[in-house]
């Protein structure tokens, strides 16, 4: 299983259990997140704390999710560090996604 879904303080959290989010895993990530949106989730947290590498195909899955959420929804990113954080910065996706250093900070933002 790529991601564990649970509720924390009333917020849906997807905790990624893989060290790599690449082209092989992007379709599963996309489907998992889009299924949540289609089931009614409008604001949730994606915890990337365990992810050490992420490529553009995984980033594309996140972009698809934001598009499906629309203007009233939000995808909060938690724990992006190292090369993952650099990917968001280099692609300027740090301007699209709300990125927080910890899951708790992302959850607090999702509750607001």
The pLDDT, as a whole number, for residue 8 is 94
Sequence-separated (6 or more) residues with CB below 8 Å from residue 40: none
Q: Does domain 3-111 have CATH number 3.40.50.80?
A: no
Structure token digits, residue 91: 């692609």
Tell me the C-alpha distance between 44 and 89, whole Å.
Answer: 21
Give the chain's mean pLDDT.
95
Confidence of residue 10 (pLDDT cuts 50, 70, 90): confident
Residue of 35, 90, 84 lying closest to 58 (CA atoms): 84
User: Residue 108: CB partners within 8 Å, gap ≥ 6?
Assistant: none
Tell me what pLDDT residue 14 has: 98
What are the CA-CA distances from residue 108 to residues 30, 43, 111, 112 (Å)?
24, 12, 5, 7
| Domain locations along the chain | 3-111
């Amino acid at each position: 299983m790529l991601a564990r879904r649970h509720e924390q303080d009333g917020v849906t959290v997807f905790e990624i259990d893989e060290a790599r989010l690449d082209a092989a895993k992007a379709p599963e990530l996309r489907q998992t997140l889009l299924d949540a949106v289609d089931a009614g989730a409008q604001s949730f947290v994606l915890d990337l704390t365990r992810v050490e590498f992420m490529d553009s195909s995984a980033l594309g899955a996140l972009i698809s999710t934001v598009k499906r959420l629309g203007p009233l929804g939000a995808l909060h990113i938690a724990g992006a560090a190292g090369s993952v954080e650099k990917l968001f910065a280099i692609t300027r996706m740090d301007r699209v996604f709300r990125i927080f250093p910890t899951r708790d900070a992302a959850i607090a933002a999702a509750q607001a």
